[in-house]
Homo-oligomer: A and B are copies of this chain.
Amino acid sequence: MKLSTKGRYGLQAMVDLAVYSKDRHIALKSIAERLCMSENYLEQLMALLKKNELVSSVRGAQGGYFLAKDPADITIGEILRALEGSLAPTDCTCEDNTYHCTLDGKCVTRGVWEKIRDSINKVVDSISLKQLMEDYEKINEEASHIYYI
């Protein structure tokens, strides 16, 4: 039941974007440097985020990425699902229910998986990227405050 690096790195990158690309776009290279990630790998994560219309990009020299929407209108749930796929704990409870279980309605454990899925979604859909962005800025403000005393 662990998130992969996709979800973890990708969410970090989204916070970084929210903080550093307020009204401009920034190069993937600079994000990768700040977060100590492989550029090539992060590129693949950005592709997922772009496909899900959470980020947009400008190609060519001086190009870069920026958020496709206001951070207040992006939930952590959208981000994580874009990167990880459904957050349901089993294939049989994924929102896009393509998987078909042979037990069908006679499975007593299914209810458990549905409750887990719903509670995870409830949590992540109740947190906006804006909140994390503000957390980040607050932490950094405090840190620099301490520094100057």
Interface residues of A (CB under 8 A from B): 1-3, 7-8, 11-12, 15, 76, 84, 87-91, 105-106, 108-109, 111-113, 115-116, 119-120, 122-124, 127, 132, 135-136, 139, 143
Q: Are A76 and B112 in contact (CB under 8 A)?
A: yes
Residue of A87, A111, A120, A132 most packed against chain B (CB within 10 A): A120
- Determine the chain B residues whose CB is within 8 A of the CB of A3 once the complex forms: 1, 89-90, 113
- Determine the chain B residues whose CB is within 8 A of the CB of A91 once the complex forms: 2
- In the bound assembly, the distance between CA atoms of A129 and B132 in angstroms comes to 37
Taking the closest CB of chain B, its distance from the CB of A76, in whole angstroms, is 6
- Determine the chain B residues whose CB is within 8 A of the CB of A76 once the complex forms: 112
- In the bound assembly, the distance between CA atoms of A107 and B89 in angstroms comes to 25
Which residue of chain B has the shortest Cβ distance to A4 in the bound complex? Answer: B1
Q: Are B1 and A106 in contact (CB under 8 A)?
A: no
Beyond A108-B15, A132-B108, whether A115 also contacts B89 by CB under 8 A is: no
Write 30 A-B pairs (CB below 8 A) sorted by A numbering. Answer: A1-B1, A1-B2, A1-B3, A1-B84, A1-B87, A1-B89, A1-B120, A2-B88, A3-B113, A8-B90, A8-B109, A11-B109, A11-B112, A12-B109, A15-B108, A15-B109, A76-B112, A106-B143, A108-B135, A108-B136, A108-B139, A109-B132, A112-B123, A112-B124, A112-B127, A116-B120, A116-B123, A116-B124, A119-B120, A119-B122
